[in-house]
Amino acid sequence: MIRQYDRKLVLENGTEIPGYSFGAVEDKVLELVFNTSMVGYQEIISDPSYTDQAVVMTYPLIGNYGMSDEDYESKNPSIGALIVREYNDEPSSWRSDRTLGEVMEQYHIAGISGVDTRRITRMIREFGSCKVLLTNIVTSREEALQILNNTELKRDQVSRVSVREPYVSEASDAEADTAGKAFHVVAIDCGMKLNIVRELNRHDCRVTVVPYDTTADEIKALKPDGIFISNGPGDPEDATEVISAVKELKGQYPMFGICLGHQIISLAYGAKTYKLKFGHRGGNHPVMDRETGKIEMTSQNHSYAVNEDSVKGTGLEVTHINLLDNTVEGMRCEKDKVFSVQYHPESAPGPCDSGYLFDRFVKLMES
């Protein structure tokens, strides 16, 4: 029996792309982006940075190793949709607890398969990220365009994915015995991946995770040795509460920011950010350390970048550059013991070339 198309994508330019449903069958208006990672779809769908986005996976086969309880990057995945060439509903991995489709259905993540992901990716690269409607195959093109025109993408993502109450994650006793000295890190959660907390714990840090709107005075009361600003979704300029806290705290504690945290630090120092045409999402981006000349392969997921010209006179200096498009990938202020990177040194998924940055953060706290 030949399966009939039951869902479709409708882009802002009117392009219609039919496919087959999997996961949650829900109509959604989302931002259309693509990811070039060859593995790691579980980490991708559970990364809060993808909130309200429809992610096109360029690797053609998705779902083949299922889902494992150990590999989530958040407890409540908030990605909008997953768009794939071929969906496999019969995973073969011994680690698999459930299928990808079952998890997507539970968390209201829409899915569409059987589409030409290469074509969609080329369209995004040529015309940029755009709004897309996932809808029933019978929805007319005129009706779909009217929905797209009348629907604004949300801008409150950080407030929706951040923790509601603080919690503490302790380093294991074995790690503490090895490292000899524990440090207390307050991590501002803007949509933080769980592997960041795991990495800090592995480096013998006790981590207190706090909501995005925690004030500077509340953070000071926790008596941290260092402050971490996490990754997260959306426009960094919308995270006004975090920017204000960082402005007040910079120079008082060692500080480390990743992805959105990198952009927030730049804004707190007076630099500017801008939206990229189609962002960086994948596990193969070459980044050069300007000081050493060393090139790292990095994991990335972001729509915005720091304007390099705006960094001048802020007290920050650019330390890392993306070799694909020369965008800013890292900054520091030596005087304040502050540094940040645009990419993901905790990987999950992606290469682990940049794990040394957690060691650098620990050394700043030691000093």
Active site residues: 259, 344, 346
Q: What is the DSSP letter of 335?
A: T
The DSSP secondary-structure symbol of 55 reads: E
Q: What one-letter code names the amino acid at 123?
A: M
Q: For the chain, what is the largest distance between any 2 Cα atoms, rounded to a whole number of angstroms? A: 68
Computed from CA positions of residues 352, 356, 357, 362, in that sequence, does the dihedral angle turn out positive or negative?
positive
CB-based contact 71:41 (threshold 8 Å): no
CA-to-CA distance for 48 and 75, rounded, in angstroms?
A: 10
Nearest to 233 by CA among 266, 191, 289, 272: 191
For 254, phi then psi, to 5°, come to: -55, 140
Alpha helices in the chain (DSSP H): 41-45, 100-106, 117-127, 141-150, 157-161, 173-179, 194-202, 216-221, 240-249, 260-268, 308-311, 356-366
Region for 255 from its dihedrals, namely left if φ exceeds 0, alpha if ψ lies in -120 to 50, beta otherwise: beta
